[in-house]
Chain A
Amino acid sequence: MTHNDINHNQGPMEIICVACPKGCRLEVRREQGEILVSNAGCKRGIDYAVGEINDPRRMVASTVRVNNCLHPLVPVYTESPFPKGMIKDLLHEIRGVQIDAPVKIGQVIIKNALNTGINIISSRDLN
């Protein structure tokens, strides 16, 4: 079950909080449009659960092919957390990219990926 399923499903769902390493198992349900969270050890857990339901995002890291270089790949990552539901499409887009060395750390590899406003940038220098 993905987190978005809660919107179609009235039963409670479990979300493991990662706001801190404790890993509270939150029980989340939606009642008349309200998101209700139980079992949270602190308030941060409630914020986490609401974020996970409304707009789940993740940092994504991968690699792109680079020509004439020390290594065949350069590591890249999303400048900020990326919408979870679009990660598969993002990976597809990243897989199609090929660039030439040298690469600088922080260099934009894909601008405004999938119109999210989020750039994909290089994690390191590579010559």
Chain B
Amino acid sequence: MSNKVYDVVVVGSGPGGLAAAISAKKNGANSILVIERDIELGGILLQCIHNGFGVEIFKEDLPGPSYAQRFIDEALNLGIESLLDTMVLEAAPDRRLTVTSKQNGLQEIQAKALIFAMGCRERTRAQVQLPGSRPAGVYTAGTAQRWVNVEGFMPGKRFVILGSGDIGMIMARRLTFEGAKVERVLEIMPYLSGLTRNYVQCLHDFDIPLQLQHTVKRIIGSERVEAIETVAVNDHWEHIPGSEEIIPCDTLLLSVGLIPENELSRQVGVILDPVTGGPVVDSYFHTNIDGIFAAGNVVHVYDLVDWVTKAGYAAGKGAALYAQGKLGNPEHTIQSSAGKNVRYVVPQKIDPRALTQQVIPLQMRVTHPIESPVWVEAVVNEERLIRRSLPYARPGEMITLNLKPNLAGKIKSASEIKINIIER
């Protein structure tokens, strides 16, 4: 079995992994390897053929594959190595990976610093516990997206989509473009879970009905889906008797949430945040395991790829510094904590030394929609450090509060920064 040593090894070549690899190179790491299980670099962006990527980073409105290609080209120009069609079987806390591929067989790879960038996975039928028979024709929206946009076949002719996440709405339009009929989109919550723009351009434009506070009561069909029984729900997700409806269709797509993919992180003992499902990290996205970092949707699910890229840059810098022995252990870290109306905050730990050199963006989600102006505030020892105003706060749209270097002195001996989102 061959054994190679790299300064930085990145697992996953989506936007988080590519940005991390590029940033590691630019911050002084010499040898960098990206490991990808697919046959090409780029990750899920390659199947996201719609526009809307890059508005933050490039001030351009790009399709997913074009956004990915900018980073693929840059990584290759910087001499970053990659292993394609290669699966990481095992990771050890000393940053040793066992990987396998058809081409090279089993290999051991040692990283001085390791970056996890495995992205996230879709929630499946089993995870939302849909009752009914188990016929063919029940798929996640992202799987259907891969089939339609990359592999070139249609999974059905008449669709019902459960969940108003962005991928579900985008697939509703895409399937309509390819001649399918999308009967309706069901959402159990009383509000849209994706972006308004996607509602307008993917559903409203094509007269695809969206039913809020509705869900699937039963999947009907033996070999193949034949119909879906839908039902209205109340605020506690309880079925409202008498509201049932049978919708004939041959396919049910699920767009019911994404979960950070942390099988390898668990294997090496990375502590996960029970709310985000991703590692507990500091502002370099350093986990509790020395020299192991996390980049992108593996940490928490972002709504814009541009933010994934920025997180990848931060993780790549941290990993490069670590590999060069320049990232010592902090004497003291500050916990960031979710206060009033805040579901979670990332990073969960702040190294006050890092804040002396750069702005640290705290990213969070609100617990429920607040459709009136709010303050987002950071509080230390009952004293408000900083606040910003927003016209509204919604769970589907991540909120950022920047901690600036001028606050470093004020917080250096604090043990906790609490973030609140309060109505003005």
Partners in one complex: yes
Q: Contacts A22-B391, A70-B39, A125-B69 known; A16 to B63 CB distance under 8 Å?
A: no
Interface residues of B in 153-196 (CB under 8 A from A): 177, 195-196
CA distance A115 to B152 in the complex (A): 28
A58: Cβ under 8 A from any B Cβ: yes
Q: Separation in Å of the A77 CB from the closest CB of chain B?
A: 5
Asked if residues A65 and B152 are in contact (CB atoms below 8 Å), the reply is yes
**Residue numbers in B under 8 Å from A62 (CB-CB):** 49, 177
A114: Cβ under 8 A from any B Cβ: no
Q: Report the stretch among B132-140, B197-205, B239-247, B348-356 that lies at the interface.
A: B197-205
Q: How many inter-chain contacts with C-beta < 8 Å in the A-B complex? A: 70
Asked if residues B69 and A71 are in contact (CB atoms below 8 Å), the reply is no
Asked if residues B63 and A61 are in contact (CB atoms below 8 Å), the reply is yes
Q: Mark B57-72, 1 if CB is under 8 A from A, else 0.
A: 0000111111011000
Asked if residues A21 and B197 are in contact (CB atoms below 8 Å), the reply is yes
The closest CB in chain A to the CB of B68 belongs to A124
Asked if residues B49 and A16 are in contact (CB atoms below 8 Å), the reply is no
**Residue numbers in B under 8 Å from A75 (CB-CB):** 49, 63, 65, 149
Q: Separation in Å of the A68 CB from the closest CB of chain B?
A: 14
B397: Cβ under 8 A from any A Cβ: yes
Interface size class of B (residues with CB under 8 A): 20 to 34
A86: Cβ under 8 A from any B Cβ: no
CA distance A59 to B55 in the complex (A): 14
Q: Contacts A58-B205, A123-B49 known; A21 to B177 CB distance under 8 Å?
A: no
Asked if residues B65 and A124 are in contact (CB atoms below 8 Å), the reply is yes
Q: Separation in Å of the A52 CB from the closest CB of chain B?
A: 10
CA distance A105 to B46 in the complex (A): 13
A97: Cβ under 8 A from any B Cβ: no
Interchain residue pairs with CB less than 8 A apart (27)? A16-B196, A16-B199, A16-B204, A18-B196, A18-B197, A18-B201, A21-B195, A21-B397, A23-B196, A58-B201, A58-B205, A61-B49, A61-B63, A63-B49, A71-B151, A71-B152, A73-B151, A73-B152, A75-B49, A77-B49, A91-B177, A105-B66, A123-B62, A123-B63, A123-B65, A124-B46, A125-B69
